[in-house]
Amino acid sequence: MSDTHGSAAGALARSAVEPRVAVTRSGWVVDARRSVADLVLSDESPLAKMLVKGPVTGSLGSALATSFGRATRTEIGGETALVVGSGPGEWFVVGPPGSAAATVAEIEQSVSGRPEFVSVIDLTHGRVLLRLTGQRAAAVLGKVCAVDLEDAVVPDGAALRSSVATVVTDVVRDDRDGTPSFLLHCERSTGQFLAEALLDAGVEYGIETTTLVGLTCTG
């Protein structure tokens, strides 16, 4: 099956999560299935993923406009990006597929000339990013995570790091058009295991896989 939106030249990139039905988009092999179920899991690994580190008391926090434990949308490199305050002096930046180089360049430019050391690392191919969306998403995560992820504790825009199905995972509440949605970021080596654990936990709620969703809500 063919649905190529990126360049056909060169090797295709693959996530660690095996798609049910493979299709090519933006130079990546992704799942072709488009589900309208009330609870869906998508592999968002083709999104550009950058780790940014700097001094806790430095100017980088102001430049990225995101505090520890929060996630905000902003424009970086001409694209919409999600900036996550994933740790003290540490930010996780997510952008559209193929935007890593421009994002890294703009972040480096924003702190150039400042007396502090900042590192920007492209993690796009080395990490897995999953999205769990639906009214029962918190209930599913509650089966495999000890943290209470209900609205009152983890509202939209909250970010934390926890064990999910024994996997060290960055958890970001990133609702889509009012529907609860969680981004789950982990090492590539544990991505398939985490995806399978979430699918197992969501069986009673009719969970299905769906194709790459991306960052932009369509309404």
106-142 tens-digit pLDDT: 888 877 777 788 899 999 999 999 999 999 999 999 9
- pTM for this prediction: 0.91
DSSP 180-219: -EEEEEEEGGGHHHHHHHHHHHTGGGT-EEE----S----
> Domains of the chain (ranges plus CATH)?
13-46+126-210 (3.30.1360.120), 48-122 (3.30.70.1400)
CA distance 70 to 82: 10
CA distance 188 to 169: 11
Residues with Cβ within 8 Å of 115's Cβ and at least 6 positions away in sequence, in order, are: none
Question: Among 167, 170, 177, which residue's Cα sits nearest to residue 154?
Answer: 170
Q: What is the per-residue burial (b if ≥16 Cβ within 10 Å, else e) of 31-56? A: bbeebeeebbbbbbbbbbbbbbbbee
| Beta strand spans in the chain (E) | 13-14, 22-25, 28-31, 39-43, 48-53, 71-76, 79-87, 90-95, 119-122, 127-134, 159-164, 167-173, 181-187, 208-210
CA 190 to chain centre: 15
Going residue by residue through the chain (219 aa), what tens digit of pLDDT does each one get?
Answer: 233 333 444 689 999 999 989 999 989 999 999 999 999 999 999 999 999 998 888 778 778 889 999 999 998 878 899 999 999 999 999 999 999 999 888 888 877 777 788 899 999 999 999 999 999 999 999 999 999 999 999 999 999 999 999 999 999 999 999 999 999 999 999 999 999 999 999 999 999 999 999 998 643
